[in-house]
Each structure stands twice: as C-alpha cells, then as structure tokens.
Amino acid sequence: MFLVDSHCHLDGLDYESLHKDVDDVLAKAAARDVNFCLAVATTLPGYLHMRDLVGERDNVVFSCGVHPLNQNDPYDVEDLRRLAAEEGVVALGETGLDYYYTPETKVRQQESFIHHIQIGRELNKPVIVHTRDARADTLAILREEKVTDCGGVLHCFTEDRETAGKLLDLGFLHLLFRHCDLP
C-alpha cells in the first residue's frame, strides 16, 4: 500500500523527546505505509525553517503560506510570491478565514486569503484552505478571486452541508473535516 500524508507540519513536531529528527519521522511514517508527505507551512519563516529542516527529498513536497491565525505577524506579499514559486512548493497555504478564534484580524485575513488565491492562480498552484465561522466571506472570496483557475483543498471545515455543496461546485474535491465539535 502507498499512502500520502496530504497535510503535515514537520516543523512543529517534538524533536526533543518524541522524534530524533526528520529522518526518524519519515521512517516511522514509512513503517505505516505513508511514503509521501505534503509539508504545510503556516508562516513564511516557518516555511523557511521547514525547508531547511527537511532539505531536498523525493518523498516530501511543500506548501508556502500564512495561516489565518497568524495574521498578527505581518509579511511581505512579494516574499510569499517568491517563496511559493520555488521548485519544491506545490501549493499555497495554509490560508483562509478563521473568525472563531481571531475575529479581530478579519480584514487582514481577507486580504491575505485574496493574495494567496491570486498567487495560486499566477503560479498555477492550488490553495489549502482553512475556514471556520466564515462561510459567507469564504465563498465570496473564492468566487470573486476565481479559485477555479487554480483549485484547492479544504483542510479545516466546520460549516454546514449546504456550504460544502457550494465548495464542491467550485471544484474543491476533497473536504477534510477538523474540529467539528466546535460551535
């Protein structure tokens, strides 16, 4: 069997007590038939750290982006564009809107989400979307920014069935539900 971990944060693991290093993590994954990983970034410095930590490997590719919960840390959109264009980067994100935990950064989240989609379209790379308590704005931005031109996947989704259907209509083929116990 050949399994793929389509969303892991290799930069956020406990390398002090649980894992020796990235090789150890990937060996443990391979022992469970997980032979390929998409290492997802949540900040630009985090992407750089993860890229340096992992190095070049045949079984790990990257995403580059700024998570909606990390919008208090400003970043340069041109840095995002440049890093996302790197050869080993196959997606933009994790990006999106999270009004449940950080409604105070709503405007910055929306601007960042738009930038991620625009760069995804420019580079022909999909977006990894996180949405929580933001269904109307998420759908509006995805439509207005023509996400169908680059595609994407929903990583965190806590909305209703109707919203799921609308997202499927936009070309999101895989919905990953997480934290569904939250209001």
> Could you write out the DSSP letters of every residue in 8-61?
E-GGGS-TTTT-SSHHHHHHHHHTTTEEEEEE--SSHHHHHHHHHHH-S-TTEE
Which residues, 6 or more positions from 88, have their beta carbon under 8 angstroms from its beta carbon?
51, 56, 61, 62
Enclosing domain of residue 36: 3-169
Q: What pLDDT is attached to residue 95?
A: 97
Name the pLDDT band for 176 (thresholds 50, 70, 90). low
Q: Is residue 155 over pLDDT 90?
A: no
Lowest-confidence pick of 95-104, 105-114, 120-129, 157-166: 157-166
Which residues, 6 or more positions from 58, have their beta carbon under 8 angstroms from its beta carbon?
none
Is 47 part of a structural domain of the chain?
A: yes
Q: Is 19 exposed, middle or buried (0-12, 13-18, 19+ CB in 10 A)?
A: middle
Is 174 part of a structural domain of the chain?
A: no
> What does the pLDDT average to over 94-110?
96
Buried b (16+ CB within 10 A) or exposed e, 162-182: ebbebbeeeebeeeeeeeeee
Is 46 part of a structural domain of the chain?
A: yes
Is 139 part of a structural domain of the chain?
A: yes
Is 135 part of a structural domain of the chain?
A: yes
Is 36 part of a structural domain of the chain?
A: yes
Please calculate the CA angle 36-37-41 and round it to the nearest 5 degrees.
Answer: 165
> What does the pLDDT average to over 96-117?
97
| Residue found under tokens 């208090």 | 72
Q: Which two tokens stand for residue 136?
A: 């109307």
The CATH code of the domain that includes 34 is: 3.20.20.140
What letter represents residue 12's amino acid? G
pTM here? 0.91
Mean pLDDT of the chain: 90
What letter represents residue 21's amino acid? D
For the chain, what is the domain count? 1
Is 97 part of a structural domain of the chain?
A: yes
Is 183 part of a structural domain of the chain?
A: no
